[in-house]
């Protein structure tokens, strides 16, 4: 069954990926995709969750300001997950690389969306990584607080963030060199 969810407003547009096909369109603000959407998280945590963010070592692409922005966003997301009884997400290199490449693609063309610079889709980028389910949230906001707030106030994005079956993540923000906008991507795997 293919489900389409599309909501538009001045600041928010949502596209949901179902059965491997992007069925919604995104406009500058926020968009979410998930391969197996669920209404509510079903996993039960086995340990007391904390809001600590797991960080990867700095790479040549990172700068201090971007890393601080990304750390803050992940800390906010893990706080929301803790409130819902989910374990914190752990950053892993393969999802981090996918998030970084997608944020770069968005910043490079000054347009938010799930389509990659080479025409790839979220399904192309994430489905072959060995996860049972995966998701991607994208946004265009000037701060971690604004991006996470928008995601948490959008049902599909919130579902990705609060899906306790997701245990690994990549999260990256990139600033456009032409218009100064900050483009966000968070990838999920579980």
pLDDT digits (tens, 9 = 90+) for 151-179: 999 999 999 999 999 999 999 999 998 99
Check pLDDT > 80 for residue 150.
yes
Check pLDDT > 70 for residue 69.
yes
Statement: the pTM of the whole predicted model exceeds 0.85: no
Q: According to the 3-state scheme, what is the secondary structure of the chain?
A: CCCCCEEECCCCEEECEECCEECCCCCCCEEEEECCCCCCCCCCCCCCCCCCCECCCCCCCCCHHHHHHHHHHHHHHHHHHHHCCCCCCEECHHHHHHHHHHHHHHHHHCCCCCCCCCCCCHHHHHHHHCCCCEEEEEEECCCHHHHHHHHHCCHHHHHHHCCCCCCEEEEEEEECCCCCCEEEEEEEEC
Check pLDDT > 60 for residue 70.
yes
């Amino acid at each position: 069954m293919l489900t389409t969810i599309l909501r538009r407003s001045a600041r928010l547009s949502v596209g949901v990926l179902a059965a491997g096909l992007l069925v919604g369109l995104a406009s500058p603000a926020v968009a979410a995709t998930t391969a197996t959407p669920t209404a509510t998280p079903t996993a039960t945590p086995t340990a007391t969750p904390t809001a600590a963010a797991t960080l990867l070592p700095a790479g040549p692409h990172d700068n201090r300001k971007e890393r601080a922005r990304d750390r803050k966003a992940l800390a906010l997301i893990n706080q929301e997950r803790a409130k819902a009884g989910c374990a914190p997400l752990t950053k892993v290199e393969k999802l981090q690389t996918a998030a970084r490449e997608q944020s770069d693609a968005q910043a490079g063309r000054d347009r938010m969306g799930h389509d990659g610079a080479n025409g790839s889709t979220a399904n192309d980028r994430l489905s072959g990584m060995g996860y049972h389910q995966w998701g991607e949230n994208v946004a265009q906001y000037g701060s971690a607080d604004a991006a996470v707030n928008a995601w948490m106030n959008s049902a599909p994005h919130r579902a990705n963030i609060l899906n306790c079956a997701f245990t690994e993540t990549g999260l990256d923000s990139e600033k456009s060199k032409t218009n100064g906008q900050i483009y966000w991507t968070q990838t999920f795997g579980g």
